[in-house]
Amino acid sequence: MKKAMQKTIFTVLLIILLIFSGCADRKNDLAVVQLTEEISITEIEENVFVVTHSFPWPGNSLFLVLDKENILWIDTPYTPEATARVLDWIEAEIGQDYSITEINTGFHIDNLGGNQELIKRNIPIYGSSLTGELLEKQSRITMSKMMNWLKGAQNAKYRAVYSDFQFFRPTRTFDINEDQRLTVGSEEVIIHYPGPTHTYDNLVVYVPGRELLFGGCMILSSDADKVGFAEDGNLQEWAKSLLKLEERFESIRIVIPGHGNPGSSALIEHTKDVVDAALSD
């Protein structure tokens, strides 16, 4: 009797261990599609996909399949060609009958380099009027600086694309100082500007129903120890703007930075620390 009881307890414990092991594996085993050598699509949770385009620096955009009819895409890959590859993948793997809404979070090429392809496919693009103004006034200056980082034969293909890059503005613009509340399908989406950070026009996008924040280049990944290129922004105001961001959205479960891996709201604090360190140098 005692041996039978011990065997039963052992069997139950073994089953529990296997169940929890399986759960841990599924949690850590993210579904990654390597679309091309430069483009990967990672499903970080059900129907939430991070698109990483390395051209040459890895940059993130994000799309969410909100329901059976609507997709929200935030930022784009660097180029129209890469954006077309992702759109074709969406049509082939998710469906052709989805309505896509795009939001640009800033004027840099890793925020809206794919706009030309989106406009070609009649996809509405939301962005601030300031983003459009900075595209006109500042983008060529910023791109010339970027070209200086791409010297050498190994970067020839990037120089060929970026040397005469044509930018396209958002098609649906708004005052950056006024929160935008969109209803995409059945979900509310909030576009918010807490103040100057990495650039003077960087926005965040918050999806309340999922407690998800796309921080873009305003937020640094956990392995970033420097602010990177910040000449188009304001270091002195960056940390202050992050404090306002935390006050605006108290329930944040997941944060997607513009570069690097997603994380929790701790990425906001980490970014403040890195910005403070840069100011003290």
C-alpha–C-alpha distance, residues 52 and 78, integer Å: 10
Contact between 240 and 276 (Cβ < 8 Å):
no
- pLDDT top residue among 7 and 262: 262
C-alpha–C-alpha distance, residues 55 and 57, integer Å: 5
pLDDT at residue 6, rounded to an integer: 46
Between 10-24, 128-142, 257-271, the lowest mean confidence (pLDDT) is in 10-24
Contact between 108 and 232 (Cβ < 8 Å):
yes
Among residues 170, 213, 173, 183, the alpha carbon closest in space to that of 66 is found at 183
H-run or E-run covering 139: helix 139-148
Mean pLDDT of the region 252-257: 98
pLDDT at 20 over 70: no
pLDDT at 277 over 80: yes
Q: What percent of the chain has pLDDT over 70?
A: 90
Mean pLDDT of the region 257-280: 98
H-run or E-run covering 103: strand 99-103
Among residues 61, 63, 97, the alpha carbon closest in space to that of 76 is found at 61
Enter the DSSP assignment of 240: H
For the chain, give the mean pLDDT. 91
Q: Using a CB cutoff of 8 Å and minimum separation of 24, what contacts does 133-137 make?
A: 134/107, 134/199, 134/200, 134/201, 134/232, 135/107, 135/167, 135/169
pLDDT at 3 over 50: no
Report the DSSP beta bridge partners of residue 32. 42
pLDDT at residue 7, rounded to an integer: 45
Confidence of residue 29 (pLDDT cuts 50, 70, 90): low
pTM of the predicted model over 0.85: yes
pLDDT at residue 157, rounded to an integer: 96
CATH 3.40.50.300 assigned to 23-280: no
Q: Where are the domains of the chain?
A: 23-280
- pLDDT top residue among 113 and 19: 113
Among residues 105, 99, 73, 80, the alpha carbon closest in space to that of 174 is found at 105
Mean pLDDT of the region 69-84: 98
pLDDT at 182 over 60: yes
Q: Which residues contact 70 (CB under 8 A, 6 or more apart)?
A: 98, 99, 100, 101, 184, 185, 187
Write out the DSSP string of 150-192: --SGGGHHHHHHHTTPPP---SEEE-TTS-EEEEETTEEEEEE
Among residues 34, 35, 157, the alpha carbon closest in space to that of 85 is found at 35
C-alpha–C-alpha distance, residues 118 and 167, integer Å: 12
Mean pLDDT of the region 210-237: 97
pLDDT at residue 31, rounded to an integer: 87
pLDDT at residue 30, rounded to an integer: 76
The model's pLDDT over 147-173, given as tens digits with 9 standing for 90+, comes to 999 999 999 999 999 999 999 999 999
C-alpha–C-alpha distance, residues 85 and 155, integer Å: 22
pLDDT at 121 over 70: yes
- pLDDT top residue among 21 and 122: 122
Contact between 37 and 24 (Cβ < 8 Å):
no
pLDDT at 23 over 90: no
pLDDT at residue 54, rounded to an integer: 98
pLDDT at residue 57, rounded to an integer: 97
pLDDT at residue 270, rounded to an integer: 98
Enter the DSSP assignment of 121: T
pLDDT at 43 over 80: yes
Contact between 223 and 182 (Cβ < 8 Å):
no
pLDDT at residue 11, rounded to an integer: 41
Give the start-end residues of each E strand in 20-57: 31-34, 39-45, 48-54
